[in-house]
Chain A
Amino acid sequence: MRKAFFALVLIALVALAISPAAAQGNVLVMARAADTTGLDPHTQTAFASFRLLELIYEPLVSLDADLNVIPALAESWNFADDGMTLSFTLRQGVKFHNGADFTSADVAATFARILDEATGAAARANYLNIASIDTPDDYTVVFNLSAPDVPLLAALATTNAAMVDSADIESGAVATVANGTGPFVLENWTPEETTTLSANADWWGDGPNIDGIEIRIIPDEASILAALRAGTIDFALLNDPLVATLLIGDANVQLNRVPAISYHVLQLRAAVEPLDKLEVRQAISCAIDRQEVLDTASLGEGIVTGPLTMAAFALPTDELFCYEKDLDKARELMAAAGMSDGFTLKVIAANAEPPTALSEAQSIQAQLAEIGITVEIESLELSVYVDRWLAGDFEAAVALNGGRPDPYTMYARYWQSSGNLNNVAGYIDETLDDLMARGRTETDPEARYEIFAELQHHLTEMAPWVWLYTGYEYTAQLPAVQGFVPYPTDSLIGLAHVTLSR
């Protein structure tokens, strides 16, 4: 028995000695906690899926690191004056990974697939104004719209509208082949374990400068951190601020932070008593110190935000209603609503998504106690939370909602009486409907900015929701990885341009 024990120890030592200590070669080794849930770019909605698929597939237009629309598979575009047609000139010489040429026929087939309800395409609702698509030649595409739709252009800049080969659509193979035009080619995918990508030598862009990427799934973020420190991986995606911030000051690992466009928010349902009283909602907004929520829940990792989070439309928060905590005003408002004695507010929070939800709810609970509101927190498993959220079955909810580069696309679902999720938002008025309708058709950028500035003032004043803060998107890398540009959308497309110097 003793012999067996020593044999085991010996085996372990030998094994350790021969196991490679660090990643090698010109292949980037990357780790993240969650895997893609599928390969069909049109039906995926999980962030984890986009992080893989955006390396393989490309849309007609994409976004730069400041969220401006830039050319991708389309070299240029033009809105006709009445805003009723949008035409694209396609990039020539682009090939799919299987060698087929990318032409206007693929664009038409792709949108036919997205608009077909049976596909279950995630972004379909954003493209309903596309009445028909003309393809006068191989490299020109004309979208005929049923109504002026300026946000359409930015709405096309998503992996959910990525171009796929018309032959794959015909054979029904889109979900399995991963045949895109992007900088990397899928070689192998073992779900929940590893994904292997090789560089696409024929890519039209400048890159890739590495031979490929090996993506490993390490479910525990603390273990990802350990792997970075041990040098067994080069690059990592991190979500949990409590884990990511452990890297601050680490000389051997570089932490990249960019403010996210997704936002943490306390959703109040104005459809429920006593939240139907404007004064009560305003009192809640005035009683909450947003910076304190951010400090308590996320160690200050983020910035306080108004309704719009993208740099081009965000307003300075001191312009917005009650962004300075004002307890006197809050108490006055409560008194005006006849609620001086306070009331009990039930808040739902998911237990892991975002990881900070419960701490946010607790900070809000403590702060609202100061104006007599007793907050009862219901901590729910994510799917249960989503079920109740979708059904509008809650009084208030702590939520992390996704942002979009365009303000109209970001809020069309919530702040229009026709929005799919207006019932979840729980509030609507004519001003909102009017502002959103104008934001959709206005083509002049300055006028559009004004419309959405007004929208933000109106939303914070009506206080259907209390916008709290945006966090950071985190990536971490060894110094050997150079030239990575992080995106506010957390996009990894910057990997197409990195170099490795070991």
Chain B
Amino acid sequence: MFRYLTQRAIAFVPTLIGVSILIFFAIRLVPGDAIVAMLGTEAGMLTQTQRESLEVYFGLDKPPVEQYFSWMGGVVTGNLGLSVRHGQPVLNLILSRFPVTLELAVMALAIALLIGLPIGILSAIRHNSAIDLFGRLLALVGLATPNFLLGSLIIVVLSVVFKILPNSGDFTPLHVDPGKNLSQLIFPAFTLGFSFSASVMRTTRSAMLEVLGQDYIRTARGKGLASGVIVRRHALRNALIPVITIIGVELGYLLGGAVIIEEIFSLPGIGRLVYNAISQRDYALVQGVALFIAFNFVVINLITDLLYAAADPRISYGQHA
């Protein structure tokens, strides 16, 4: 097990280096630099000396390859660089925004599982019943509704009908005021969780249907086991593998920040941070966040793989099989 973890951790390195090279040069291939992004058309009024001093300030005066190595030199020692627009270390900015994104992602995941799993299981057990039909319809709606539409509708209903709007730009962290914090996150989390629940539901349903048709389930039934026990102990556990896979992938995306949802609900998360950084050509910040997101992804992949083993004892990472 330990050996497996070490091997996986070493395999992280080339992945992250690949991502770092890709993002470093991709953001520089986009036309427009930080100076133009900051000054707009006023950049045309700069004298040569002014422009040069700004280039030094933004670190644009050195060749890209040299910039890359000096950046990577910092990354290795835990220094992701300085965001020129915020005047703060990139790592601090990420760490200050990440709790919001993490909380949102976890809540969205919880909501998705609370809606998706039970309906998915019920749909499979009562195959082609009214419940199944309802569940499939809900999944169709969930998948077909863009979350910016659902989010905007929720905001309109809350503000116009109920005259309340928890998200009016005064985000409160969990430890400051848990009640207010939850009231601000529950609606965006629901918005994200709703469409996510649709894929959870459909995956659960089809995986369950497949498992329920297997011989060993028929055997279990034949042995006279209660149907609850069959579903929980024999069917669900085996059906969980694809569900875990999809949770892993979705969580990876969610931890990268939900740009649109963060924008319309004005949450200061990772998504908004990187969105602004891209439009402002804040290279160090874009690179730092991208690397952070990539890191999250590989870690989640690892956890997903470990969960496979937990869900299905036939999968083991202890020895070479």
Point out residues on A near B: beta carbons under 8 Å.
Answer: 1, 4-5, 8, 11-12, 14-16, 18-19, 21, 29, 31, 37-38, 45-46, 117-118, 120, 122, 124-125, 176, 191-194, 214, 216-220, 222-223, 226-227, 229-233, 381-384, 386-387, 389-390, 401, 413, 420-421, 424
Contact = CB atoms under 8 A, between A and B. Distances in A.
A223 B155 contact: yes
A12 B152 contact: no
Given A122-B45, A219-B272, A387 B31 contact: yes
Contact of A191 (B86, B114, B171, B265): B86
A217 B169 contact: yes
A5 B44 contact: no
Interface of B: 30-33, 36-47, 49-50, 53-54, 57, 85-87, 110-111, 114, 117-118, 152, 155-156, 158-160, 162-171, 178-184, 186, 263-266, 268, 272-273, 276, 279-281
Contacts of A387: 31-32, 36
Given A11-B186, A19-B179, 4 more contacts: A11-B182, A229-B165, A232-B168, A387-B32
Contact of B164 (A125, A176, A230): A230
Contact of A227 (B42, B168, B186): B168
B281 A1 contact: no
A409 B259 CA distance: 40
A421 B44 contact: yes
A382 B36 CA distance: 10
B163 A383 contact: no
Contacts of B168: 29, 31, 216, 218, 223, 227, 230, 232-233
B279 A1 contact: no
A396 to B, nearest CB: 16
Contacts of B162: 230
Top 5 A-B pairs ranked by shortest CB distance? A216-B169, A383-B32, A15-B183, A226-B159, A227-B168
Contacts of B32: 381-384, 386-387
Which of B39, B160, B180 has the most C-beta atoms of chain A within 10 angstroms of its own C-beta? B39
29 contacts: A1-B114, A5-B114, A8-B110, A15-B166, A15-B178, A15-B179, A15-B180, A15-B181, A18-B180, A37-B85, A37-B280, A117-B47, A120-B50, A120-B54, A122-B39, A193-B268, A194-B169, A216-B170, A219-B263, A223-B168, A227-B159, A227-B169, A230-B162, A383-B37, A383-B279, A386-B32, A386-B36, A386-B40, A387-B31
Contact of A21 (B37, B40, B164, B171): B164
B160 A19 contact: no
Given A117-B53, A191-B86, A389 B41 contact: yes
B41 A217 contact: no
Contact of B266 (A19, A46, A125, A223): A223
Contact of B167 (A124, A223, A382, A420): A223
B49 A117 contact: yes
Contacts of A38: 85, 87
Contacts of B47: 117, 124
Which of B54, B166, B181 has the most C-beta atoms of chain A within 10 angstroms of its own C-beta? B166
Contacts of B118: 1
A227 B54 CA distance: 38
Contacts of B110: 4, 8
A230 B168 CA distance: 9
Contacts of A18: 179-180, 183
B36 A390 contact: yes
A384 B179 contact: no
Nearest to B43: A390
Contacts of A176: 87
Contact of B158 (A46, A214, A226): A226
